[in-house]
Structure 1
């Protein structure tokens, strides 16, 4: 190993923790089963660490030239017009806006659309299971200040607002993974641009905030943390959902990596170190878990403990919806307890998970049979795709009713 030669956040603890016995035991066990070393080379980790200071200068220049100079209303109108009709429909677009949309509208040279479409199909096939799994993986990362602090300061994922913000994320996942969702004119493509601009506003507010510690955490919503979020839709659920019966092959995980890499490109997350294959993705996740500082403190605790209660059934609902909400809430609790590390769940004030924690195990044999039949019979595969698309839209609508996702930053920080 060599010492870091670039600026890295103080809470990036990889080199401090790498030789801990538990880390090396996990490394040895993985190598015994999978026949490759999950520990990346030191130069790769340094690039990952330095990316905590990388952001999105192309989108930031556009916001400065348009939103700051012409006002939020005019900026939003210009953005919407360019998304819906192309940049040439905005005759007074500044050069920064044209650079942004040139990047947005021109496919990157590495893009394989068939591979990206295959990855989107795998993500759809997981249905609502991946939404529930994402809860557990998200709560695990709330121990890290660079992730927890932006959410705590904005208040977007605390208290009852946690439900609305998570449903916006689910809407994004649905939009980008629908057939044609990332094609020109597709709903996911439009959503990606709006989310990208929203991140610029949040980042700017946080960079000026007295509580933000640039030396310890890097930049808010950095390329490094955003890349890990993309990984949360590919290799992590690809491996973990086997425990609930979903069969995801290594080739399918690599298709997912390609799909999410393209999503990241549209979001302005374009690191040259983003994993291209299964081995590289595992090595990045190894570095991400080893580097954790567990320093988010009370902010992280609040985010973790307020998340699940935000999904509890609301009083006053008609009884059929009340019953469905109760079952879905308990299932979410069970899935979260099943996948979240025991010490993480037990060290916080969390809902009682028994007997719902057994749900993933009970469904696994049935899902394994269905998954096997789907693989053997192509018509069943097509039927499963249509069914899962319908189920996840129904799940979303039950949660949101007629409310629409807006992808707007909070008007003001909570503190």
Structure 2
């Protein structure tokens, strides 16, 4: 049975009310000492010696990552890094056109996302930051030769905790029926979107990841999940377990919501404004429909045909810099291309930064 026996409503009802105490305590300390946020944003990696002024909560939080550095299993990560090095261009494409909009179709989790003005008003930057996150964690040698990815994961985990803090303290319209904001179930679902759903997208494009490749990618995201504060005892290890976990979460939460539709509308507007080719501009909804399928598309108010012009996907990915998307360009080329595009569009390379608070 493996993990399948864990995929029940009773277990996941409980996960819906669990969050991440270690990160939440660290954010409480950062709220009280906003100058520490500014300091952390200057780091290139987590220092081996933390500032003596840091509170016990913050020292414990970053100490968690120092312990993980000792425990990392290089053999468990190399397969996932090889897969990304081989398929990174398509991997990023599937994040933008499948995994992220797929998350919007899950109504209760979308309630957190829609409360971030940056996601609705600066969607291009948010997409760029997501790409930077993925490039950091899949860098060859990340976690066992290079330490930057630990800092990246620690920042994203804290950003989740900041979201929880501000929603619980300031969002008067938060409905307890949504569950706790950024809870364990939603974090599992997001991790699954960034792994299993990406692989399913590759299958939709005609590629067929092997079971070994599924295991390599899932093993990689299990490690990421540990670093992001997820209870990985529920994490799938095979394509079958991934399918059943996605099936359970779909049954529980895939439904129409104003929040999800707002998020998708913002994403579509961004794609239309950044893709100059009029043919592609006219086909964005159909492209998203192709990946999302009827059920998720209906939840997002997306109406289109599954039929696409034969070369549309190639045109779309070519424009986005993923030329010859079936080729083996490798991590270094993808990173260079991404950073060049970000400098052109935003005037800088986008990085993960903690939200700096206004101090009066």
TM-score, with structure 2 as normaliser: 0.81
Structure of higher CA gyration radius: 1
1:252 matched to 2:197: no
Q: CA RMSD in A?
A: 3.6
Distance 2:125 2:306 in 1: 23
Distance 2:227 2:291 in 1: 30
Report the counterpart of residue 390 of structure 1 in structure 2: 333
Q: Is the 8 A contact 2:154 2:227 kept in 1?
A: yes
Distance 1:200 1:130 in 2: 27
Report the counterpart of residue 348 of structure 2 in structure 1: 403
Residue by residue over 1:142-187, the C-alpha shift from the partner in whole angstroms, topping out at 9 and shown as x without a partner, is: 233322111211223224x112111111110111111023346433
1:211 matched to 2:211: no
Q: Is the 8 A contact 2:102 2:193 kept in 1?
A: no
SS of residue in 1 equivalent to 2:114: helix
Q: Is the 8 A contact 2:72 2:143 kept in 1?
A: no
**Aligned with 2:224 (options 255, 259, 263):** 263
Mark the runs of 5 or more structure 1 residues left unpaired by the alignment: 1-36, 315-321, 364-369, 372-382
RCO higher in structure (CA 8 A, sep ≥6): 2
Report the counterpart of residue 64 of structure 1 in structure 2: 28
Alignment of 1:34-73 (within 5 A): 40-41=4-5, 44-65=8-29, 67-69=30-32, 71-73=33-35
Report the counterpart of residue 198 of structure 1 in structure 2: 159
Change (3 A) 1:227 1:293: closer
Alignment of 1:11-410 (within 5 A): 40-41=4-5, 44-65=8-29, 67-69=30-32, 71-77=33-39, 80=42, 83-86=45-48, 88-107=49-68, 111-134=72-95, 135-159=97-121, 161-183=122-144, 185-208=146-169, 209-214=171-176, 216-296=177-257, 298-313=258-273, 335-342=287-294, 344-345=296-297, 348=301, 355-356=308-309, 359-360=312-313, 384=328, 386=330, 389-391=332-334, 393-395=336-338, 397-399=340-342, 401=344, 402-408=347-353
Mark the runs of 5 or more structure 2 residues left unpaired by the alignment: 317-324
TM-score, with structure 1 as normaliser: 0.71
- Comparing 265-274 with 333-342, greater Cα deviation is found at 333-342
The alignment covers a number of residue pairs equal to 345
